Amino acid sequence: MIWCILVVGILLPQSLAHPGFFTSIGQMTDLIHTEKDLVTSLKDYIKAEEDKLEQIKKWAEKLDRLTSTATKDPEGFVGHPVNAFKLMKRLNTEWSELENLVLKDMSDGVKHKSFLTVEDCFELGKVAYTEADYYHTELWMEQALRQLDEGEVSTIDKVSVLDYLSYAVYQQGDLDKALLLTKKLLELDPEHQRANGNLKYFEYIMAKEKDANKSASDDQSDQKTTLKKKGVAVDYLPERQKYEMLCRGEGIKMTPRRQKKLFCRYHDGNRNPKFILAPAKQEDEWDKPRIIRFHDIISDAEIDIVKDLAKPRLRRATISNPITGDLETVHYRISKSAWLSGYENPVVSRLNMRIQDLTGLDVSTAEELQVANYGVGGQYEPHFDFARKDEPDAFKELGTGNRIATWLFYMSDVSAGGATVFPEVGASVWPKKGTAVFWYNLFASGEGDYSTRHAACPVLVGNKWVSNKWLHERGQEFRRPCTLSELE
C-alpha cells in the first residue's frame, strides 16, 4: 500500500503542477494511461494482500482443526512427541514469523502420522549441542542427514549438518569418523574455513596417536587411544548400549530352563485375612534378581485420587548428591514428582497397608509414597535405589537404614516406551495400568544387590504415571524373611 501511495503522490502532484495539461489532448491521454497503470498497481496490491490473507486464513483453519482435536484429549495429543515438539516450536517461533507461511507447513496431521522434518531434527541437534550433549547431537544430525540423502527438500543443507555432526563425533572420541565426515563436508564446500582447520587438527592428533601407539612404555596413552577409537562419550554410561537396546524392546531372552521356574500364582499375604477370600495375583517377571508383578493391585478410582492429590504438588524430580547430600536436578532424570503421606488421605493409607500386607515388610519406616509423571522424553537413566558403600550418609537423616526393597505401582499404560529395565541382567518390565512390581535391593546379609541397577526408559508416545514406595531396613528385624519364600 505504501509504495502505491508513493507512486500516486509522485505522479499526481506533477500533473496538478502543470495546468496546461488539459489544453493538450495528447498530454491528457498520457494521464489516462498513467491512471490505468495506477489502477493495475492497486489491483496487484489487492491481490497480494488477498493472497496473504488467504494464506493466513488457511493457516488459521488448520490450527483451528488442530486445536479442536488437541482439546478433546490434551494428554493424548501432547503424549505424541512430534505433536509436543511442534506445539512448543509454534508457540516459541512460528507465531512471530508469519512471513514464513509460504515456506512452512503449519499442519500437524493425524496423531500417528506426524513426522519430523530435516529442520526439526537439525534444531533438536543444535539444542543438544548447546548443552554439550554430543551423543544426542550425533543422533539428531545423522537423522537430518539421512532425510536429506533420501531427497527431502529443506532449507538446511548438508554442509551445516556435517559441520555439527563431525565435531559432535570428535567430542565423543571417534576421531576416524570425525575425519571422514570432515572430508565429506569439504567435498561439498572446499573453502569451508572451520572444516579445513579441523581437518589439519584431526590429522595432527591422529599422527600423534600413531606415534604414541608405537611406544608400548606408556600404558596410559595406549588406554586413551583405545578409548578414543571406541568412541567413548563424555557422559559415558558403561551399560548405555544394553540400556537403549532394552528400551527398544530388544531384551535378553531367558533359557527355557530358567523360564520354567517362572510362575503365576495367587498370594494371600501369608494368610492375611484381607487376601484369603480375594488373593492377589502374582507373576514372576524375572528370577535373579527376583522381580514380581502384582496384577489388578490398584483400582482406577484409587489411581485417580492419587493423581489428583499429586498434580498440584508436582515439581521437577531431584536426586540426592552423594557428596553433599543436597537435592538437585540432573539431566539424566527427567520427570516431575510429588510425595504423599498416609495421614493425608485414606486411599494413600490403604495403599501403604496393602504394600505391607503383601510384602511382609513394615511400612512405618518407609519413605512417603512418591508419585511421578513422565511426559514425552521423560526418563531416569540407570541408577541404584540403595546406598552403596561409598555413600554411607545417604539416608542418615532418615535414621531408618538402607532401602531394603522397592515397590512400584504403574498407574497408566504407555503407548510407546517407558519400560523399567535392568541392564545388568537384561530384564525389561513394561508398564501396565493397575499392576505393581516389587524387588529386594539388598541381600539377606544387608549387602547391596548390584544386579538391581535399573532405569526408566524414555517415554516415546503417551504419558506415564507411577508411584513408588521405598522400604527401609529399620523395623524389619523381626518381619523380614530370611529368604523370599514368603512371596511364593
Task: Report the pLDDT value the prediction gives residue 213, as an integer from 0 to 100.
Answer: 72
pLDDT at 268 over 80: yes
Alpha-carbon gap, residue 379 to 240, rounded angstroms? 14
pLDDT, mean over the chain: 82
Query: Containing H/E element for 90?
Result: helix 81-92
Higher local confidence (pLDDT), 251 or 226 = 251
Q: Is the model more confident about 226 or about 174? A: 174
Q: What is the DSSP letter of 153?
A: -
Angle at 245 between CA 243 and CA 249, to 5 degrees: 115
Contacts of 471 (CB under 8 A, 6+ apart): 355, 359, 361, 362, 363, 365, 366, 403, 404, 405, 406, 407
The CA-based dihedral angle spanning residues 200, 206, 211, 217, taken in that order and rounded to the nearest 10 degrees: 140
Percent of the chain exceeding pLDDT 70 equals 81
Mean pLDDT across 77-97: 77
Please write the tens of the pLDDT for every residue from 360-369: 999 999 999 9
In 10 A of CB 236, how many CB atoms?
13
> For position 391, what pLDDT does the model report?
80
Give the tens place of pLDDT for each residue, 308-319: 999 999 998 877
Burial (0-12, 13-18, 19+ Cβ within 10 Å), 84: middle
Of 88-102, 154-168, 271-285, the one with minimum mean pLDDT is 88-102
Is 90 exceeded by the pLDDT of residue 285? yes
Q: How many residues does the chain have?
A: 488
Provide mean pLDDT across the span 108-119: 62
- Give the pLDDT band of residue 43 (cuts 50, 70, 90): confident
Cα 90 to Cα 101: distance, rounded to the nearest angstrom: 12
**Cα separation of 460 and 456, whole Å?**
12
How do strand 427-429 and strand 420-422 relate by DSSP bridges? Answer: antiparallel
- The phi, psi pair for 66, rounded to 5°, reads -65, -45
Residue with cell 488539459: 22
- How much is the pLDDT for 95? 67
pLDDT class for 17, splitting at 50, 70, 90? very low
At 159, list the grid cell: 554442509
CA 435 to CA 282: how far, in whole Å? 10
CA-CA-CA-CA torsion for 318, 323, 325, 329, nearest 10 degrees?
-20
Q: pLDDT (tens digit, 9 = 90+) per residue, 20-32? A: 444 444 445 566 7
Give residue 402's pLDDT: 93
Determine the straight-line distance between the first and last CA of the chain, rounded to whole angstroms: 83
Give the percent of the chain with pLDDT over 90. 49
Q: 19 vs 95, which has greater pLDDT?
A: 95
Q: Mean pLDDT lowest for which of 83-97, 174-188, 193-207, 347-361?
A: 83-97
The band of 172, judged by pLDDT with boundaries at 50, 70 and 90, is confident
Q: For residues 137 and 118, what is the distance between their CA atoms, to the nearest angstrom?
A: 14
> What three-state secondary structure class fits 154?
coil
Average pLDDT over residues 153-170: 93
Name the band, by pLDDT with cuts 50, 70 and 90, for residue 106.
Answer: very low
Model confidence at 359: pLDDT above 90: yes
Give residue 6's pLDDT: 38
Among 59-68, 185-194, 291-300, which stretch is predicted with the lowest mean pLDDT? 59-68
The pTM of the full predicted model, rounded to 2 decimals, is 0.65
550433549: which residue's cell? 133
